[in-house]
């Protein structure tokens, strides 16, 4: 897999949405200072070739663990965005010793959460928005709650169109998450978690953030005014929440005292 590491400090693993590539993190990466950012193209996206045989989420989490092994990283903070949020939950579940703290942004617990509308699911079944600027502009309001210009004429929009996923890779990611759910074991993920939901998100609808925060035993919930791509379109707001949360974890680790999380539903 293609991997990029930038910056200095405590490692923060960034797991992004379906079909997305490393370059799309650029708007957020500029605001996540003081961290060693670890980014990767999952198979079939960006510069990584597709898998020979499709995997489920458990298999993708094993691949991520192998990347951490190759980089010599025993324990990391993890920011999972959209599809990457499901992968982050799976990683924290099956390799809890590798995850210090978890940030779940614009994501869901899968089955048992609130699904998007049928037409949103239909649009998500195709990677066409990665190949056509016109298509991206037309579908951005329905898929992401974004303006056409914010989605297509931005740095992350340019990166999306410059390195589209392969059809096989995109289909493999769809296969991995189809039927997936964290609801059976979500309550057993005990690492400190920040859940960030967006009020105008048609893909990971706002109720999913409340479900995640209410089920996770050590979670803080933040709701922002934005759509699904809030961390890319307004990175200052979302990344400030991430930075504050991770600084709390740094301070707690240094002092040896647990961080007292604000309750689910805080600062809605």
Euclidean distance between CA atoms 263 and 24, whole angstroms: 32
Question: DSSP strand E in 76-182: where?
Answer: 76-81, 99-105
Nearest one of 258, 260, 182, 185 to 219, comparing CA atoms: 260
Euclidean distance between CA atoms 233 and 226, whole angstroms: 9
Euclidean distance between CA atoms 244 and 224, whole angstroms: 15
Give me the helix-helix angle, 83-94 and 57-71, nearest 10°.
70
Euclidean distance between CA atoms 73 and 142, whole angstroms: 39
Residues catalogued as catalytic:
82
């Amino acid at each position: 897999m293609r991997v990029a590491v930038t910056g200095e400090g405590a490692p923060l693993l960034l797991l992004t949405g379906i079909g997305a590539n490393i370059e799309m993190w650029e708007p957020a990466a500029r605001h996540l200072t003081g961290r060693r950012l670890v980014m990767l193209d999952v198979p079939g996206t960006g510069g990584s070739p597709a898998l020979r045989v499709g995997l489920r989420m458990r298999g993708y989490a094993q691949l991520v663990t192998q990347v951490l092994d190759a980089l010599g990283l025993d324990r990391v903070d993890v920011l999972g965005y959209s599809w990457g949020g499901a992968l982050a939950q799976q990683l924290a579940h099956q390799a809890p010793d590798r995850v210090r703290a978890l940030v779940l942004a614009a994501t869901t617990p899968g089955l048992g959460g609130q699904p998007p509308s049928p037409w949103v699911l239909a649009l998500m079944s195709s990677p066409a928005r990665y190949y056509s600027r016109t298509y991206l502009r037309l579908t951005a309001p329905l898929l992401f709650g974004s303006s056409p210009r914010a989605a297509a004429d931005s740095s992350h929009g340019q990166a999306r169109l410059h390195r589209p996923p392969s059809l096989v890779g995109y289909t493999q990611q769809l296969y991995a998450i189809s039927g997936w759910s964290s609801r059976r074991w979500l309550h057993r993920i005990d690492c400190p978690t920040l859940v960030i939901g967006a009020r105008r998100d048609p893909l990971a609808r706002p109720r999913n953030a409340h479900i995640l925060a209410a089920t996770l035993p050590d979670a803080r919930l933040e709701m922002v005014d934005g759509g699904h791509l809030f961390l890319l379109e307004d990175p200052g707001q979302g990344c400030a929440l991430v930075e504050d949360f991770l600084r709390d974890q740094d301070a707690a680790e240094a002092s040896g005292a647990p961080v007292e999380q604000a309750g689910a539903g805080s600062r809605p």
